């Protein structure tokens, strides 16, 4: 079953690492709040289907990565509504 | 419309020390705008600070308890602060003020103080539950 993981923790928080470790290859990852900082660290490998909240990127002056889909709050609603299962880290 | 999908939102991060109430409110507004419904909003742990009517932030900052209260009332969404979390953090309604003989009550309408049974019931009946946590 495909799972949507929503993480709001900064990459230096232990729970961010635990979230990445728990991901299956087919899972989706949504970065919110301080988790978007991960996009500025090329050393952090994200799953192929990864998303980031536009407002949180903008608030931190970050542009994201070409491989990341940047979404707004309505996009987050659609992602969560379509998910079979959601884990909020 | 997507009447089949309803959300329960659980906020565990406090206003002013975490972004949780802000992210949750933006999500909730976007969900309603797209025709989804929100069954209930729960405050748990430090999240109960969002139900204090006594928060007095500077006038150029958002008053998160007030912003949430207006959103909930305007859209008829039931909202619950976990009573066990709330009493420990000094969030009281009139009944608890009388019971514990404190000199004020401060819960902002429409939040109610209830036990976790309500939460379990809502999670069992709703199709999606989202948690808005703090930083730890």
Could you state, in order of their start, the residue ranges of all structural domains in chain A? 3-88
Classify the complex by whether its ipTM is higher than 0.90, answering yes or no.
yes
Tell me, yes or no, whether B19 lies in a domain: yes
Give me the domain span that covers residue B29. 6-132
Contact list, B33 vs chain A (CB under 8 Å): 74
* Options 1.10.287.110, 3.40.50.10800, 3.40.1260.10, 3.40.50.300; CATH of A3-88: 3.40.1260.10
CATH number of the domain encompassing residue B32: 3.40.1260.10
pLDDT in tens, A16-66: 999 999 999 899 999 999 999 999 999 999 999 999 999 999 999 998 899
- E strand or H helix that includes residue B31: helix B20-33
The CA distance from A64 to A1, in Å, is 28
Provide the shortest C-alpha distance from residue A38 to chain B (in Å). Answer: 15
What's the confidence (pLDDT) of residue A73? 98
B128: nearest CB among A34, A72, A80: A80
pLDDT at B2 over 80: no
Tell me, yes or no, whether B1 lies in a domain: no
Q: Is B37 exposed, middle or buried (0-12, 13-18, 19+ CB in 10 A)?
A: middle
pLDDT in tens, B81-100: 999 999 999 999 999 999 99
């Amino acid at each position: 079953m495909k799972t949507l993981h929503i993480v709001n923790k900064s990459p230096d928080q232990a729970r961010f690492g635990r979230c990445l470790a728990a991901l299956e290859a087919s899972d989706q990852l949504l970065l919110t709040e301080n988790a978007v900082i991960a996009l500025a660290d090329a050393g952090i490998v994200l799953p192929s289907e990864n998303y980031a909240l536009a407002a949180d990127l903008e608030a931190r002056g970050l542009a994201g990565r070409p491989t990341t889909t940047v979404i707004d709050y309505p996009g987050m609603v659609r992602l969560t509504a379509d998910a079979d299962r959601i884990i909020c880290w | 419309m997507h009447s089949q999908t309803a959300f329960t939102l659980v906020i565990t991060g406090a206003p002013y020390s975490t972004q949780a109430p802000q992210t949750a409110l933006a999500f909730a507004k976007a969900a309603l705008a797209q025709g989804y419904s929100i069954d209930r909003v729960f405050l748990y742990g430090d999240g109960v600070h969002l139900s204090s009517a006594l928060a007095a932030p500077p006038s150029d900052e958002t008053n998160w308890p007030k912003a949430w209260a207006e959103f909930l009332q305007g859209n008829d969404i039931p909202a619950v602060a976990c009573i066990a979390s709330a009493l420990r953090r000094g969030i009281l309604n009139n009944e608890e003020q009388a019971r514990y003989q404190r000199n004020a009550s401060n819960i902002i309408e429409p939040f109610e103080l209830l036990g976790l049974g309500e939460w379990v019931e809502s999670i069992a009946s709703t199709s999606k539950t989202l948690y808005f946590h703090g930083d730890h």
